Amino acid sequence: MDSLGSKIACLNTNIGLEGIIYFTPFYRRNQITRISIEEKQSLVARYQAGEAIADICVDTGVPRRTFYTWIKPYTVTVSGYTVSHQEFIKMKQKLQQLEQKLEILQKVNCTVLAPLQEKLQELAKLHGQYSVHALCEALCVSRGTFYNHIFRRKEVTVHDKRRTEMKEHIQAAFDESQQRFGANKIAAVLADRGVRTSPKYVAELMREMGLQSVSIYSKHDYQKSERLAKKQNMLQRQFKVDEPNRVWVSDIICFKVNGKYLYVCVILDLFSSKIVAHKVSPKNSTYLVTSTFRQAYQNRNEPQQLMFHSDQGPQYTSDTFWKLLRMNKVAQSFSKSGRPHDNAVAESFFASMKREEVYRTQYCSEHQFMRSVDTYIEFYNTKRPHSTLNYKTPDGFELLHEQRRERTG
């Protein structure tokens, strides 16, 4: 033991510029080897590349205590804590991942709480700019679901993009004609502008957008619209409803954001005061109302025996919207002209949104405003207690109703 101790002491004191003495696996056979500065740096580089200290020491015969002395100059102090080079690299990579996640969240036009399809559509826009792992982690979407969406929707996405661009061309030509042109004339205008399409395709998109030229209104259509506008108020301010999807109320409000007008359309279920669908658009058109209704009708699984109540705005009294309701066997009710209290629940919602969200925020962009509306409606449905619901949230009130039905059914 004394001989071994003296050899160790000798080794600890005999480290020169020309090299370092260390034990090798052959030490057991009383052999001692010198290691150069370059070899030492090579071993430290193996550690920095991720190789375990134990493996390096077993491979070279360098004692762990000696090796820890070698790597000590390569440690880093962060916020009072000393970390190894490897740990520092991991921390740096984690920081880069968080910065990338924040960058993605700033670019998408939805939140983590948004519906899955909406998140998938937003992430698809950034596909190719970031890794799939980073995209999916940012909005809490599984990679399998995202890949299925990308590959299944690849052709459809190109088709949808073309339809969206064509709708923009049609809307511009329609507005320039002051709503005078029908499908044939709009197709001709677009052809002059180098946009090739057919009158049939234009007519199809115009129906989806709720656009009708004044020239195609017949006397019969005009009289039908007049009858719609004069329909009675079937709701009669009976805002207490016993079942979901029996009465929906709707309204549109306008906000000015950075000099531009944006219109918010909501549809609300009187049973729970839940917002079952909403849309934000720069145009207060029939298409805004029809698209919001279609979204609500799909979200609520196409309910039967439904009444739809609104004011007598031109979007709600349009022949296009009336046909949509009739096709789905939905009864239509109107507030009397100049009687906002006939639609008090919808009016109350907008008052709450203005007071609790819109008037408290300085908006820098249209996208920020749209995200703000999405976030507030999510809060309104899931977290905001309502005094009329015994201080339950709309989602909570509907869940309680469903549980009671299951117990009694």
Best-predicted range by mean pLDDT (94-98, 113-117, 169-173, 176-180):
169-173
**Residue of 348, 366, 140, 381 lying closest to 277 (CA atoms):** 381
Q: Which helix (H) or strand (E) holds 171?
A: helix 154-176
**Residue of 71, 64, 24, 13 lying closest to 45 (CA atoms):** 71
Question: pLDDT tier at 324 (50, 70, 90 boundaries)?
Answer: very high
Question: pLDDT tier at 26 (50, 70, 90 boundaries)?
Answer: very low
Least confident of 133-137, 168-172, 263-267, 336-340: 336-340
Question: pLDDT tier at 45 (50, 70, 90 boundaries)?
Answer: confident
> Does residue 28 register a pLDDT over 60?
no
Which pLDDT score is estimated for 37?
76
Mean pLDDT of all residues in 122-144: 85
Tell me how crowded residue 320 is: count the other CB atoms within 10 A of its CB. Answer: 18
Q: Quick one: how many helices (H) and strands (E) in the chain?
A: 18, 10
Rounded Cα–Cα distance for residues 224 and 38 (Å): 93
Rounded Cα–Cα distance for residues 281 and 183 (Å): 23
302 neighbors 204 (Cβ within 8 angstroms): no
| 190 contact partners, CB below 8 Å, separation of at least 6 | 169, 170, 173, 196, 197, 202
Percent of the chain with pLDDT over 70: 81
Least confident of 21-25, 148-152, 341-345: 21-25
Higher pLDDT, 7 or 298: 298
> Does residue 153 register a pLDDT over 80?
no
Higher pLDDT, 20 or 122: 122
What mean pLDDT is reported for the chain?
Answer: 80
> Does residue 50 register a pLDDT over 80?
no
Which pLDDT score is estimated for 221?
53
C-alpha dihedral sign at 104, 110, 113, 117:
negative
* pTM for this entry: 0.48
Mean pLDDT of all residues in 361-390: 91
pLDDT digits (tens, 9 = 90+) for 277-292: 999 999 889 999 999 9
Question: pLDDT tier at 59 (50, 70, 90 boundaries)?
Answer: confident
pLDDT digits (tens, 9 = 90+) for 221-276: 555 555 554 567 888 888 888 899 999 999 999 998 888 899 999 999 999 999 99
**Amino acid at residue number 178:** Q
> Does residue 30 register a pLDDT over 80?
no
Least confident of 85-99, 148-162, 238-252: 148-162
Rounded Cα–Cα distance for residues 257 and 11 (Å): 77
Question: pLDDT tier at 313 (50, 70, 90 boundaries)?
Answer: confident
**Residue of 300, 191, 308, 204 lying closest to 248 (CA atoms):** 308
Which pLDDT score is estimated for 225?
53
Least confident of 160-169, 272-281, 364-373: 160-169
C-alpha dihedral sign at 347, 352, 358, 359:
positive
Higher pLDDT, 93 or 140: 140
231 neighbors 224 (Cβ within 8 angstroms): no
**Residue environment code for 210-228, b if the CB has 16+ CB neighbours within 10 A, otherwise e:** bbbbeeeeeeeeeeebeeb
Place of tokens 């370059």: 38
Tell me how crowded residue 303 is: count the other CB atoms within 10 A of its CB. Answer: 17
Mean pLDDT of all residues in 379-387: 92
Q: For strand 32-35 and strand 331-334, is the pairing parallel, antiparallel, or unpaired?
A: unpaired
Rounded Cα–Cα distance for residues 249 and 264 (Å): 14
